[in-house]
Amino acid sequence: MEIQEIKQRFGIIGNSPLLNRAINIANQVAPTDISVLITGESGSGKEVFSHIIHQMSPRKHGPFIAVNCGAIPEGTIDSELFGHEKGAYTGAVGERKGYFETVSGGTIFLDEIAEMPLGTQARLLRVLESGQFIKVGSSKVEKTNVRVIAATNVDVYEAVKSGKFREDLYYRLNTVPLRIPPLRDRKEDIYLLFRKFTSDFTAKYRTPPIQLDDEAQQVLINYSWPGNVRQLKNMAEQLAVLETNHVITGPILLTYIPHEVSGRNLPMRVENPGKEDFSERDILYKVLFDMKRDMVELKKLVADIVEHGGVAPAFANNQQAINQLYRDIEMPGNNHESQFTIQQPVINNNKPDAFNITHDAEEVEESLSLIEKESDLIRKALKKHKGKRKLAANELGISERTLYRKIKELDL
């Protein structure tokens, strides 16, 4: 069957090369009886491909069942899949047939296969290899003829390396891997899907047709869609029900994108709990950078005075202004002691527009305590923002949680 015919039969919309490749693989593997492992993000449409494989296989007239392995409690999943005998465990008041028995001759779709317990994985491996299973509480070997299609939204190979998934089962299921592309890799299909969904929902709820302006179309296409087709369909339904204006603009569309979800797509600092907290180092760097900047400014000022033999007349005739100048270029971090003691310029009364500077500036030892520097910097940030800790934390380049801890440690 041609790819276009498959799309029409199963309601698949899109012309992405990645999507077409996935459909082509499903079409080729369907007539066989081998196991298939479908991988893809949540909401990308993995179950649709399991239906394609079943309906285009010789088992299409047999039963089909979809089982979410992550939704079944660990204590009952063996009973659900393989059945149990009467009295096998507390509450087993009668014999029960499992899915592998009732679906014999058809197809079973095991969704979220990576959530299956290791013990159940061993039982499933036996079914795949020999078609045999044993009910819970029984010693009799049963036979079944079931095709298994599995799916997961996690990296199964990583689960194998971490010991959460059996390696032999992985290779047995992964005979034919089938990857469903996420919606963000099918940008050319996003607007087509949106139009189809809005058309269906506006007809269902008898609301005005939905149209997107150019800006809204760009928002729609450029968003990463972490929930994939399921999220897009959900948003289309919200617009069809809630919006009275049939023309949707970019700002209106943005209100339907969850803030906490869109925030995950932005660059962020990730803290590794296994590594050192670098907040103290960040504060130290900021102190050192400020010191270096002030030193450069001081050197430029002194060099300019030496080169031109004086300063502006306003400073030469105003001792208070000169004092203010030297206070302004003091190094930050100590309100009581200047980092350098510079001999005040001596005004030459014979040259009112200039003054001479002696070059024997005395350098004194400065306190190098990081605690004092941190404490002073935090006080200044809090004072600048009138005690608002969130703004102060942003100014310091640290998290608000780190600022709270610092305030408590330094007893500010």
pLDDT one-digit tens code per residue, 172-209: 998 888 999 999 999 999 999 999 999 999 999 999 99
Closest CA to 121 of 93, 95, 152: 152
Q: What is the pLDDT of residue 266?
A: 39
Q: What is the mean pLDDT of residues 40-47?
A: 94
CATH no. for 3-181: 3.40.50.300
The H or E element spanning position 199 is helix 187-205
Cα–chain-centroid distance for residue 93?
47
Specify the CATH architecture of the domain 370-410. Answer: Orthogonal Bundle (1.10)
* Fold adopted by 185-263: Helicase, Ruva Protein; domain 3 (1.10.8)
Cα gap 214→196, rounded to integer Å: 18
Asked whether 178 and 22 are in contact (CB, 8 A), the reply is yes
pLDDT one-digit tens code per residue, 359-411: 444 444 445 566 677 778 888 888 888 888 888 878 777 787 777 777 877 77
Strands (E) across 63-207 are located at 64-68, 83-84, 96-97, 107-111, 132-134, 141-143, 147-152, 176-179
Read off φ and ψ for residue 32, nearest 5 degrees.
-85, 180
- In the chain, what are the domain boundaries? 3-181, 185-263, 279-356, 370-410
User: Tokens 């890799």 correspond to what residue?
Assistant: 185
Cα gap 246→209, rounded to integer Å: 6
- Residue 210 DSSP one-character state: P
Q: Identify the burial level of 151 via C-beta atoms within 10 angstroms of its C-beta, where 0-12 means exposed, 13-18 middle and 19 or more buried.
A: buried
What pTM does this model have? 0.61
Q: What is the mean pLDDT of residues 136-145?
A: 92
What are 167's strand-pairing partners? none
